[in-house]
Chain A
Amino acid sequence: MPDVLTFLLQIAAIVLSARFVGILFRRLGQPQVLGEMVAGILLGPSLLGWVSPALSQTLFPLESIGYLQTLSQVGLLLFMFLVGLEFDPAYLRNQGHAALLASHASITAPFLLGSVLALFLYPQLSNANVAFREFALFVGVAMSVTAFPVLARILVERNLFKTKFGAMVIACAAVDDITAWCVLAYIVALVRSSEDSMPLYVTIGLLTLFIVLMVTICRRLLRKFAEHFERHGRLTDESMALILMLLLGCATLTEYLGVHLLFGAFLFGAVLPKNPLFVHSVVERIQSLTLVLLLPVFFAFTGLRTSIGLVQGAEMWMLCGLIILVAVAGKLGGSAIAARFAGVGWRDSIALGIFMNTRGLMELVVLNIGLDLGVLSPAVFSMMVLMALMTTFMTVPLFNLVAGDQTASEEALQPASAEA
């Protein structure tokens, strides 16, 4: 076990670097979370371990990584709960077939391209212990992810959140998130069924039952939280404790079912009442500590596992470039073409594609699961982390390029309510 001083130093270094690089990125017009992700990478073997292996070893000794992992899992659990909590089915109302088509196509198109890419990657970057099916499905889902929270933050910063265009983007991303997490849950269950005693059909059956119970009976019961909140005019500590206990219970249950604890956390957040004041109160209690302390720990943990040095030589860099190219073509191209087919103008279709191509930290979550399960090799993991950074990085400049002086077309800038 690492001594407490080392652990405190690690946390201090992580928070400090995350804030510093995050603010730097914000000043450069990039989402702050991207800077925090980059800070995590810089603390790992890609920079600190390369420049000063001795300092890296002293600050992050091997035996301390498990503790960082546990802390980062707690952070992710809370973060996924917040993502679920802030997911409001109302996003999907008043959205026509354009949003539905674009969101579904923005999953299936990159998924297909990702699985085709897996045909090239598997013989070179995987090994005989991993079945092609699992590898291809994981590459597919990694290509399909959209970072709903990052995307929402960019829309708010650009004053687009409450416009027709913003509503369509949010609706697409929300559908995308739900679908991608369901697909991921299935893939994780599929992969784990090869080592667990629980057969896949039992896992899927129990998971389906759990989801149905959560969105029907539990959802109704959970309304009591909102009623209690309205009665007292605030979120009591008892309510908060109960919410946290139920969150941990759901996460434990989905982990036990062989899916992943994050799925339970997300689902529990999604079925909680959507009373804006109630949601705001819960978010306020959890968000600050999660975003400032725990998520940077996750980024650092991811950074410690990411070795850009693994991507060496022309062949590896070409494969890395191919991954980024396929990711952009599938996500940006797939969403844009689908939106265009659904009658959205070219400029707004491309802008939608650009936003859907933002992968952010949701991608890191998926990649870490893939690496933990042994489906993604360390080099594929590192290449995909680079892809996540690149696709998030390109969102703002590409959007500026497409939108020009305006943020979107005039029609798209109308308030979302105008469509209803």
Chain B
Amino acid sequence: MMSRGKSVLIYLLLVGGPFLGVIGVLRLGDSLQAPPSIAGDWELDARLDANANTPCSASLGGFQRNFFTISQSGKFVEVQLPNHGRDLLRGALADDEIRVEAAPALFGDDVFQLLRISGRVSQDNGVLTMHGVLSMPRRIDCVPIPFLARRVNAPVSRKAAH
């Protein structure tokens, strides 16, 4: 049978110790920086007809409704197109540069799989914008299309009160 004093000491060590540790970790982490938030719905402004009447236009089918949605997990991002298949482009955000490519589907469309978006994210009068290029890097007959996108719907910021 353990003495009461020893029990209290072990309790403080195994329960109180980690509790204090959590407080320390929370203080330590306050100075950490996470990637900027770019998740949300984006409105696209681009000359999508630049590749009209070429096989490349099939790749751009998902953009015909002029918007896309970005889902973000830190530096890892997913761009979802508003087409029927809700096609996905996956990639990463490094500082303010984003680069995503079509995620290969098990039974995917070869032409679509060549699609890539690369761009730079910036704040413009309080609105998050992205300047970049839509391209199909494996097809030399497709003209890269410059675009400007604006975030029109962002998730709620959780830092306001902190």
Interface residues of A (CB under 8 A from B): 50-54, 57, 62, 97, 100-101, 104-105, 108-109, 111-112, 115-116, 118-119, 121-134, 136-137, 140, 191, 193-195, 309-310, 312, 316, 334, 337-338, 341-343, 373-375, 377-380
Contact = CB atoms under 8 A, between A and B. Distances in A.
Which A-B residue pairs are the 9 nearest by beta carbons?
Answer: A379-B73, A194-B161, A377-B73, A108-B18, A112-B18, A125-B74, A132-B29, A129-B37, A127-B37
A115 B126 CA distance: 33
B34 A374 contact: no
A82 B33 CA distance: 42
A122 B32 contact: yes
Contacts of A343: 1-2
Interface string B73-98: 11110100000111000100000000
Interface in B9-31: 10-11, 14-15, 17-19, 21-22, 25-26, 28-30
A115 B76 contact: no
Contact of B162 (A100, A111, A194, A375): A194
B30 A338 contact: no
Contact of B25 (A119, A334, A338): A119
A97 B5 CA distance: 12
Q: Which of A112, A129, A137, A316 has the most CB of B within 10 A?
A: A129
A111 B22 contact: yes
Nearest to A101: B11
Chain B interface bracket (under 10, 10 to 19, 20 to 34, 35 or more): 35 or more
A119 B36 contact: no
Contacts of B36: 127-128
B160 A195 contact: yes
21 contacts: A101-B14, A105-B15, A108-B14, A111-B22, A112-B22, A115-B21, A115-B22, A119-B29, A122-B29, A122-B34, A127-B74, A128-B36, A130-B159, A132-B32, A137-B26, A194-B160, A316-B76, A341-B10, A373-B158, A378-B73, A380-B73
Given A119-B32, A127-B35, A374 B15 contact: no
Which of the listed residues A50, A132, A341 has the most CB atoms from chain B within 10 Å of its own CB? Answer: A132
Contacts of A133: 26, 29-30, 162
B122 interface: no
A137 B161 CA distance: 16
A342 B2 contact: yes
A101 B76 CA distance: 40
A193 B159 CA distance: 11
A127 B39 contact: yes
A118 to B, nearest CB: 7
A169 B38 CA distance: 45
A119 B30 CA distance: 10
Given A126-B73, A126-B74, A378-B71, 19 more contacts: A50-B105, A97-B2, A105-B18, A108-B14, A112-B25, A115-B25, A115-B26, A115-B29, A116-B21, A129-B37, A129-B157, A130-B159, A132-B34, A136-B26, A136-B29, A194-B158, A343-B1, A377-B74, A378-B78
Nearest to A125: B74
B110 to A, nearest CB: 15
B86 A57 contact: yes
B37 to A, nearest CB: 4
Contacts of B155: 129, 374
A136 B25 contact: yes
Contacts of A194: 158-162
Nearest to B72: A127
A326 B17 CA distance: 18
Give the residue among A195, A309, A341 with the most B Cβ atoms within 10 A.
A341
From A100, A112, A118, A119, name the one whose CB has the most chain B CB atoms within 10 angstroms: A112
A127 to B, nearest CB: 4
A373 B158 CA distance: 9
Contacts of B28: 119
Nearest to A191: B158
A129 B39 CA distance: 10
B76 A118 contact: no
A132 to B, nearest CB: 4
Nearest to B74: A125
A134 B15 contact: no
Contacts of B161: 193-195
Contact of A125 (B32, B73, B86, B106): B73
B133 interface: no
B34 A123 contact: yes
A123 B32 contact: yes
Given A53-B105, A122-B34, A378-B73, A109 B7 contact: no
Most buried by B among A126, A134, A140: A126
Interface in B101-148: 103, 105-107
Contacts of B32: 119, 122-123, 132
A122 B162 CA distance: 16
B10 A129 contact: no
B154 to A, nearest CB: 8
A53 B86 contact: yes
Contacts of B29: 115, 118-119, 122, 132-133, 136
